[in-house]
Structure 1
Amino acid sequence: MKRSFALGILVAALFAAPVFANQPDFPHISTTGYGEIEATPDMAEFSVRVVQSQMDADQAKQAVDAVVDKFLTGLMSKGIEKKDIQSSNLYLSPQYHYPEKGKPELVGYRASRTVTLQVMDLDNLNSYLDLALDSGINQVDNIQLKVKDQGQYQEAARMAAIKDAQSKAASLAKGFDQKLGKVWRIEYRQPMNQPVVMRNMAMDSKVESNSYQDSVITIRDRVDVTYQIGK
């Protein structure tokens, strides 16, 4: 029984060792700094979809392709570059009616394609959406408002997070009558910044809203810092 007990302690110690291996063996303060920068969107990306249902699969495909081709031709005429356009392959699926009794009945085919456009000039967003409507597009999946120079704003948010961590550490050290020493460890995990998104807009009327022009994008960052402290 004694040997088993001793072996249990040894095993527990072996598994616990890595947990404490990264812990500082000196007095320290750990802080987390947060930074936020607000930016006005100057570009956008939107995805539109055309959906058609026909009795014949080939007819459904042709109807969808005709709408997409018209939309792409219109975009090209407005000077949109091919690199800013992504057009998905055709998605075709049979549609069934399920009666209470009996086998499912084929009632037609549903075809769809999606076009994603990068809009470098936000002032043109509404005209591109109107063009989609005129071409026969019947669904907007989402509109994402973005900024062109994301890295510049991210760097500013990161610097704000660093200053926040430094300020907190200095305040804590002063409050506990300690001297703030050198940085021992820095841990950085950049948060995922989400663009402003507007979803599921109906394509049954002209797009007249300019509310997106008043939107603000908040770009965030954070940093975890451990400082040495001493008297």
Structure 2
Amino acid sequence: MRKRFFAAALPLTLASAAAIAGTPLPDGPHVVVQGEGKVSVAPDAAVVTMVARHRAGNPGEAKRVVDSAVSALLEAAPGFEIAPDDITASDLALREAIDYDDSDRPLPPAHVASREVKVRIDDLDRLGAYMDAALSAGFTDVSDVSFKSSNEAALREQARARAVAEVREKAEGLAIAFGGTLGPVYSINSVNSTQAHGYGNTTLDRVQVTGSRLEGGRYLQPTLDFTERVSAVFGISR
């Protein structure tokens, strides 16, 4: 009785998991499982993106102020042990802005210039001081602060290994529960993995940053979570 129930019901029970695996299924008894691995670490670097923006009556003045802010920040970079390769600056963006008075009459046109500078900082203890220096140089916006780890590749491998171990543990447990023995792996889903968007209904290579808040002029220590999800199809011997 048990074998008859196992052979008929197991594929039906797990058929919906095929959508997770995203791969063809074998004709014989099989099991489809998904596992997740996660590694959490403190970051050791940050990428800061700041914008210098100025509005003036003529484009030359707007450009001069923005260029001066960028030059001042680049001159300050060596003091924060920032290598030239860790700094990128965008080209100048210049646009005309037209405002209206309370009677909806157009005011004399103004010109807005802006440039973006992105810097990688490997000493997080100096992050607040660098941002203060940028603001003092004339930068007006902090558009993004993104925390990083120099061991990202190794951490992703650790997360993937944990996901694979969980997949095998789940598969073996299900096979035994239905009176079978886990067979060889039939397929593994690792197609179209991307850092930001993942693939299918799962998220692969996801990075989350939690806990970052500016408090008293300093950043609280955030946590980087590297998460990998793996789907696999195993054959089952009865």
2:13 aligned residue: none
2:235 aligned residue: 228
**Is the CA contact (8 Å cut-off) linking 2:97 and 2:112 kept in structure 1?**
yes
Letter in 1 for 2:217: E
* 1:194 equivalent among 203, 207, 212: 207
> Sequence identity, in percent?
27
Q: How far apart, in 2, do the equivalents of 1:46 and 1:198 lie?
A: 17
1:43 aligned residue: 45
Q: How far apart, in 1, do the equivalents of 2:219 and 2:107 lie?
A: 46
| Residues 195/155 of structure 1: CA separation in 2 closer, same or farther (3 Å cut) | same
Stretches of structure 1 lacking an aligned partner (at least 5 in a row): 1-20
Q: How many equivalent residue pairs?
A: 205
* 1:115 equivalent among 105, 117, 123: 117
| Residues 24/157 of structure 1: CA separation in 2 closer, same or farther (3 Å cut) | same
Q: How far apart, in 1, do the equivalents of 2:52 and 2:123 lie?
A: 24
**Is the CA contact (8 Å cut-off) linking 1:50 and 1:138 kept in structure 2?**
yes
Deviation at 1:196, TM superposition (A): 2.5
Letter in 2 for 1:92: L
2:154 aligned residue: 152
Q: How far apart, in 1, do the equivalents of 2:143 and 2:32 lie?
A: 43
Alignment of 1:2-81 (within 5 A): 22-81=24-83
Q: How far apart, in 2, do the equivalents of 1:168 and 1:195 lie?
A: 26
* 2:140 equivalent among 133, 138, 141: 138
Deviation at 1:22, TM superposition (A): 3.3
| Residues 198/60 of structure 1: CA separation in 2 closer, same or farther (3 Å cut) | farther
2:167 aligned residue: 165
TM-score w.r.t. length of structure 1: 0.81
Deviation per CA, 1:151-202: give whole Å up to 9, x if none: 1110000000001101110111111111111111111154242352899x8x
Stretches of structure 2 lacking an aligned partner (at least 5 in a row): 1-22, 194-203
Deviation per CA, 1:55-89: give whole Å up to 9, x if none: 00110000110111011111134432110000111
The structure that has the greater radius of gyration is 1
Cα RMSD between the aligned structures? 2.5
TM-score w.r.t. length of structure 2: 0.78
